[in-house]
Amino acid sequence: MTQPPQFGQHPQQQPQWGQPPQQQWGQPQQPVPPQGYSQQPPMPPHGYPQQQPIPPQGYPGGPPPQGYPGGPAPQKSGAGKKILGVVGTLGLGIVGVVVLALLRSVDGGGIAVGECVDITSPSMARADWETAACGTSKSDFKVAKQLDGRASCGDDYDSAEKPGDYVLCLVPDVAVGDCRTDSPTELQVKVPCTDPDAKHRITAVADNASGPPECAEGDPDQYYMVWNEPALTICWKTA
pTM for the model stands at: 0.56
Mean pLDDT of all residues in 90-113:
55
Range list of β-strands (E), 153-211: 158-162, 166-172, 179-180, 190-191, 200-206
Q: Mean per-residue pLDDT for 198-210? A: 95
- How does residue 92 score in pLDDT terms, banded at 50, 70 and 90? low
Q: 178 burial class (0-12, 13-18, 19+ CB within 10 angstroms)? A: buried
Alpha helices by DSSP H, 30-126: 78-107
pLDDT higher than threshold 90 for residue 48: no
Across all residues in the chain, what is the average pLDDT?
75
- Residue 151 in 3-state DSSP? coil
* Rounded-to-integer distance, Cα 59 and Cα 167, Å: 71
Where b means 16+ CB within 10 Å and e means fewer, 54-77 reads: ebeeeeeeeebeeeeeeeeeeeee
Q: How many C-alpha atoms does 237 have within 13 Å on its Cβ side?
A: 12
pLDDT (tens digit per residue) in 104-141 = 443 445 689 999 999 999 999 889 999 999 999 999 99
pLDDT in tens, 144-201: 999 988 889 999 999 998 888 899 999 999 999 999 999 999 999 999 999 999 999 9
CA distance 202 to 204: 6
Nearest partner of 236 among 201, 209, 206, 210, judged by Cα: 201
Q: What is the mean pLDDT of residues 76-88?
A: 56
